[in-house]
Amino acid sequence: MQSQPLSRLNKPAAAPGAPANISTPAPKVGFVSLGCPKALVDSEQILTQLRAEGYETAKSYEGADLVIVNTCGFIDAAVQESLDAIGEALAENGKVIVTGCLGAKKDADGSDLIQKVHPKVLAVTGPHAVAEVMASVHTHLPKPHEPFIDLLPPQGVKLTPKHYAYLKISEGCNHRCSFCIIPSMRGDLVSRPIGELMIEAENLFKAGVKELLVISQDTSAYGIDVKFRSGFWNGRPVKTHMTQLTEALGQLAAQYGAWVRLHYVYPYPHVDEIIPMMSGGHVLPYLDIPMQHAHPEVLKRMKRPASGEKNLERILKWRQMNPDLTIRSTFIAGFPGETEAEFEYLLDFLKEAQIDRLGCFAYSPVEGATANDIANPVPEELREERRGRVMLLQEEISKKRLQAKVGKTVKVLIDELTPSGAIGRSAADAPEIDGVVYVKKPFEPHKKLAVGQFYDVEITRADAHDLWGAA
Ligand code: SF4
């Protein structure tokens, strides 16, 4: 292996108090660091993270289980030196991850330069990509879990029951809805690297998760901040994009016999590409779309990303594409300036859209929200009255839609056992926010209901919120 920085970086001091007797040898990573001081800092950060996670550094190609090459792409000579270093690492070791400036460079025809010259590299990232590099390392050289040393299980600490978990795909939001102060607290959208998400999802499925709930402030916007750049999962490039993420999660869920449920989906046009993925039984035919209102003027005052008519158009189209689709949404009644006509427009929208699961809140001013300055605030009593009217209408809609399920057989994931049987949820029910399915104890003694297992349940009864049936 080469270059002066390499030998320096490859010999970190032994951690004080490190356990002397580790039952499984830690995986070893070789590191070639080229380029300027900025690249050197990137190398240090990657090495620090490797060390923090329990990887060791190797001093030679033969001693390494995998090699990372941090490249430079500044001048032609540096490009050549980087390409040569990658070639050498491939020849000497074979398992190579490339990062750094050259990783971001395209060839004249727009293709990735490194992958064109060295198609055998496992993954390529640009500079300042510690998380992505680590995600690739996790994919190609997973660290064996050491229960006596690692304080955390691979899936991390979870507050949810063992059979379902949330996957947070991004933080922050690029919208500026006038009633919301989240962007001022959490900043603009920052998408998590797709490779890292896929590894987290796989660890969760391996740990027994049967339902993965995708969450964020705006799931449809996933990847916008990084211009939908490609990450890596299982040695192949995957775009940081909601469609590719859903597809990859669906494939993983199919492998583990699990469900994926999408929350906080804004009705951007690419959601149309997600609906066909919902027929396979793993990406659930369920969309949680926070619409908040239907009247175009109210939506404008709310500074919402989508208009009411388009929402209705899309819902009708999606239902044509998949008649099993469940739509959940939240609405605000009595938003500042809402007239009786605007409110009635919302009621008409709800009658047409036939939202399956709906939450409605009376507008409540949040300190710091610009909506507080909008003229003609609706008096509190009227806000509550309008909320009541929405919920009354929804009760009728929900009752009718759930009644249509009586006599059908639905797949149910059991959450809890009860003296009379169990409580579970179907594809139409997200935990905590939607209804449940009460499953009767089976007569046959060999048929036992168990938490975290799926059962086909024949629906015998429904009310406005829940279903009852027998497995
Ligand atoms: S309501 Fe949602 S979409 Fe709007 S600013 Fe807040 S987090 Fe973003």
User: Rounded distance, CA 163 to CA 450, Å?
Assistant: 11
96 dihedral zone (left: phi>0; alpha: psi -120 to 50; beta): beta
- pLDDT of residue 15 exceeding 50, the answer is no
pLDDT of residue 144: 66
User: Rounded distance, CA 300 to CA 177, Å?
Assistant: 9
153 falls in which pLDDT band (50, 70, 90)?
low
| Region 263-283 average pLDDT | 93
Ligand 1 geometric centre to CA of 300 (Å): 14
Protein residue with least CA distance to atom 6, ligand 1: 180
| Region 366-385 average pLDDT | 92
Q: What letter represents residue 335's amino acid?
A: F
% of the chain with per-residue pLDDT over 90: 61
Per residue in 164-191, pLDDT tens?
999 999 988 998 999 988 888 878 999 9
User: Rounded distance, CA 44 to CA 50, Å?
Assistant: 10
- pLDDT of residue 459 exceeding 60, the answer is yes
Query: Ligand 1 in contact with 292 (CB < 6 A)?
Result: no
pLDDT of residue 347: 98
Query: Ligand 1 in contact with 173 (CB < 6 A)?
Result: yes
More confident position, 61 or 74 = 61
pLDDT of residue 308: 64
pLDDT of residue 252: 96
Which atom number of ligand 1 is nearest to the Cα of residue 217?
7
Per residue in 230-265, pLDDT tens?
888 877 889 999 999 999 999 999 999 999 999 999
pLDDT of residue 9: 36
pLDDT of residue 132: 84
Structure tokens at 225: 């901040």
pLDDT of residue 348: 97
Task: Please check whether residue 462 is in contact with residue 406, taking contact to mean a CB–CB distance below 8 angstroms.
Answer: yes
pLDDT of residue 18: 36
| Region 104-118 average pLDDT | 81
Q: What H or E segment, with its residue span, contains residue 84? A: helix 76-92
pLDDT of residue 1: 42
Which atom number of ligand 1 is nearest to the Cα of residue 218?
3
| Region 82-107 average pLDDT | 90
Ligand 1 geometric centre to CA of 182 (Å): 7
DSSP states of 58-78 as a string? -SSTTT-SEEEEEE--SSHHH
More confident position, 463 or 52 = 463
Query: Ligand 1 in contact with 238 (CB < 6 A)?
Result: no
Q: Rank 171-175, 446-450, 455-459 by mean pLDDT and report only the highest.
A: 455-459
Ligand 1 geometric centre to CA of 264 (Å): 10
pLDDT of residue 150: 59
User: Rounded distance, CA 422 to CA 468, Å?
Assistant: 10
| Region 72-79 average pLDDT | 80
Query: Ligand 1 in contact with 180 (CB < 6 A)?
Result: yes
Lowest-pLDDT choice from 18-27, 58-67, 128-137 = 18-27
pLDDT of residue 2: 38
- pLDDT of residue 5 exceeding 70, the answer is no
pLDDT of residue 6: 42
Closest by CA position to 317, among listed 371, 257, 376, 271: 271
% of the chain with per-residue pLDDT over 70: 91
Q: Give the β-pairing of 211-215 and 259-262.
A: parallel
| Region 343-368 average pLDDT | 94
pLDDT of residue 226: 94
What rounded mean pLDDT belongs to the chain?
Answer: 88
Per residue in 120-144, pLDDT tens?
999 988 877 888 898 889 888 987 6
Which atom number of ligand 1 is nearest to the Cα of residue 176?
5
More confident position, 177 or 306 = 177
Query: Ligand 1 in contact with 303 (CB < 6 A)?
Result: no
Query: Ligand 1 in contact with 291 (CB < 6 A)?
Result: no
Query: Ligand 1 in contact with 217 (CB < 6 A)?
Result: yes
Give the three-state DSSP class for 462: strand
Helix axes 340-353, 308-321, angle to 10 degrees: 10
Query: Ligand 1 in contact with 170 (CB < 6 A)?
Result: no
Quickly count: other Cβ atoms within 10 Å of residue 348's Cβ: 12
Ligand 1 geometric centre to CA of 387 (Å): 21
In angstroms, the first-to-last Cα distance of the chain is 62
Burial class (CB in 10 A: 0-12, 13-18, 19+), 201: buried
Protein residue with least CA distance to atom 2, ligand 1: 217
More confident position, 25 or 308 = 25
User: Rounded distance, CA 322 to CA 354, Å?
Assistant: 15
Ligand 1 geometric centre to CA of 30 (Å): 44
Query: Ligand 1 in contact with 302 (CB < 6 A)?
Result: no
